[in-house]
Amino acid sequence: ADDFVVLVRGEGHHVEALRTEIGEVLAPLGLRLSPSKTRVVHMADGFDFLGFHIKWMHKRGTDKHYVYTFIADKPVRELKRKIRVLTHRRSQVPFAAVLSRINQILRGWANYFKHAVAKHTFNTLRSFVWWRVVNMITYRRRWTWTALRRQFKGPRGWRQIALDGVTLFNIAAVTVTRYRWRGLNISTPWTA
């Protein structure tokens, strides 16, 4: 991995001094900073890194500011694009294959992003995926809304969609565990 972030407490001249030092450290390793990819931003503006949007924000109900890690917009758009392709109404792929592939994509995506501020995004994506699958089912089986409700709604509300033995993964049920403190659990040359 050749991507990294350097956080500096200080002003612009501190950043420029540190940039030259980083260049000197990377040179013996055969690496260099790319001028086109290297950016200097304020934490209040935030930046995208490896699919996450990292930003310094005011915490509601307090007078404190914290660094929050959100899911960036680009991965959400890309996931929705993949789901749209899989759930195309005129597709002839069997339901079990479509649901299995959607489940694989959603599980991997949720496990990668579950350490961010992600609950709202997961709920939105659950609704998006549910409606895409429901629209695909109603079109391909020529069901009316009444027939769909009869099939997937029970006395306690909507049941999970299960077709041909495959149940649609509920991304909203993924537990979000933010900011795990690992401390000295990871050995480094500085803590050993």
**Which tokens sit at 174?**
């993924």
Read off the pTM.
Answer: 0.83
Helices (H), the chain: 12-26, 73-86, 95-113, 119-141, 145-152
CA distance linking residue 24 with residue 141, whole number of Å: 64
Query: Could you tell me which residues come within 8 angstroms of residue 64 by beta carbon, excluding any fewer than 6 positions away?
Result: 58
102-130 residue pLDDT tens: 999 999 999 999 999 999 999 999 999 99
46-85 residue pLDDT tens: 999 999 999 999 988 999 988 889 999 999 999 999 999 9
**Which tokens sit at 124?**
């939105």
CB of 50 within 8 A of CB of 21?
no
> CB atoms < 10 A from the CB of 113, how many?
25
Q: Cα dist. 173→5, 26, 119, 153, 156 in Å?
A: 31, 43, 9, 19, 17
14-57 residue pLDDT tens: 888 888 888 888 899 888 888 888 888 888 899 999 999 999 99
Note the residue count of the chain. Answer: 192
DSSP assignments along 166-178, one per residue: EEPP-GGGSPP--
- Please give the span between the terminal C-alpha atoms of the chain, in angstroms, as a whole number: 23
Mean local confidence (pLDDT), 91-102: 94
